[in-house]
């Protein structure tokens, strides 16, 4: 189980990376943390003509607070994010989600940008990005653009990234008063991809969920925002809302059936997670 031959490039700047992408076109693959790409290479599920290793591109791994929010560089390692006081303070949803991502020896290499660009439907960070209404920064030679997380994830392993573009950062808008986060996940074993995961970000007023953003992973081809369920819980106490919220959630979801779980089990687990999350969010502090 060894990769097919490929050319290896290690650009020292974004410009050199754009050059390599331009030279090889869509047959090039960007190597960031490599914790999903390298397995795909080893199993020859991916056989790129060139691998463009962006790990030595400077300036892509920072975590900093800016006027537009918390900026997490694409090359920020998941374990660094897990330990970051800035993330804990300004994006607690992401801090809570990080321990669910795989294992220590993979988080040390795995990157935030890699998780987002891969867009695995059961992954944690895409769901968090959608729940936080975050923005994803993309760059190409001579220009850059921002894409709202809700429009970034297009399908299984499919994103808004166009050929020649590189994902450079995730920007989480500044936290505002009253918003609380709760991340929860159910998997067969710790570190496995989620059967169902929930990124919940809600505004609480006097024990009532004033506004809810409920985004689930593992139940569709992209992170799924449970809009009907959000509407059903808005303005109510979780205890009063759960029966109706559960029915609304059922209408929001069309979960996949696979070797890991039936659709019915995923629906059940999603209801369990929503109930737990809303109770925890209202009871917090």
Partner 1 sequence: MDAGEAIDITVTVNGVACRRRVDARQSLVDFLREDLELTGSHVGCEHGVCGACTVRVDGVLARGCLMLAAQCDGSAVETIEGVAASGTIADLQAAFAVANALQCGYCTPAMLLTADALLREDPGLGADEIRRGLSGNYCRCTGYHAIVEAVLATARSRREARGG
Out of 31, 32, 196, 261, point to the residue binding partner 1 (CB under 8 A). Answer: 31
7 vs 280 by CB, closer to partner 1:
7
- Residues with Cβ < 8 Å from 167, sequence gap 6 or more? 74, 113, 116, 117, 136, 137, 138, 161
Judge whether 147 and 165 are in contact, CB under 8 Å.
Answer: no
- The residue range among 41-49, 122-130, 153-161, 174-182 that interacts with partner 1, by the rule CB under 8 A, is 41-49
CB of 143 to partner 1, least distance (A): 29
CB contact at 8 A, 125 and 116: yes
Taking CB under 8 A as the criterion, which residues in 98-157 touch partner 1? Answer: 102-106, 108-109
CB of 106 vs partner 1, minimal distance in Å: 6
Which window, 48-56, 59-67, 238-246, 252-260, contacts partner 1 (CB under 8 A)?
48-56
Please tell me whether residue 16 binds partner 1 under the rule CB under 8 A: no
Residue 39 as a binder of partner 1 (CB under 8 A): the answer is yes
- Tokens describing residue 151: 């429009």
Cα distance between residue 40 and residue 17, in whole Å: 21
Place of tokens 């790409």: 37
Alpha helices in the chain (DSSP H): 14-24, 37-42, 78-83, 85-90, 92-97, 104-107, 112-118, 124-131, 149-152, 227-233, 238-252, 263-283
Check binding of 46 to partner 1 (CB under 8 A): no
Q: Which residues bind partner 1 (CB under 8 A)?
A: 1-8, 10, 31, 34-35, 38-39, 41-43, 51, 53, 55, 79, 102-106, 108-109, 189-191
């Amino acid at each position: 189980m060894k990769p097919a031959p490929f050319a290896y490039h290690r650009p020292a700047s974004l410009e050199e990376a754009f050059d390599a992408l331009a030279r090889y076109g869509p047959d090039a693959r960007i190597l960031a943390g490599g914790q999903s790409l390298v397995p795909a290479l080893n199993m020859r599920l991916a056989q790129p003509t060139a691998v463009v290793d962006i790990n030595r591109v400077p300036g892509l791994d920072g975590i900093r607070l800016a006027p537009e929010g918390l900026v997490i560089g694409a090359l920020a390692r998941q374990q660094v994010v897990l330990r970051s006081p800035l993330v804990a303070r300004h994006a607690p949803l992401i801090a809570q989600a990080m321990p669910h991502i795989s294992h220590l020896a993979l988080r040390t290499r795995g990157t935030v940008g890699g998780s987002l660009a891969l867009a695995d439907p059961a992954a944690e960070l895409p769901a968090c990005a959608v729940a936080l209404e975050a923005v994803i920064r993309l760059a190409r030679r001579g220009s850059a653009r921002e894409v709202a997380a809700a429009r970034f994830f297009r399908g299984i392993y499919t994103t808004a990234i166009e050929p020649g573009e590189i994902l450079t950062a995730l920007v989480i808008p500044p936290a505002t008063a009253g918003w609380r986060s709760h991340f929860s996940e159910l998997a067969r074993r710790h570190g496995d991809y989620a059967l169902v995961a929930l990124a919940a970000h809600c505004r609480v007023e006097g024990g009532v969920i004033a506004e809810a953003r409920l985004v689930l992973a593992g139940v569709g081809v992209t992170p799924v925002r449970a809009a009907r369920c959000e509407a059903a819980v808005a303005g109510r106490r979780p205890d009063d809302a759960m029966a109706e919220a559960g029915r609304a959630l059922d209408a929001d979801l069309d979960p996949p059936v696979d070797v890991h779980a039936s659709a019915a089990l995923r629906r059940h687990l999603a209801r369990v997670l929503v109930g737990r999350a809303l109770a925890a969010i209202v009871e917090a502090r």
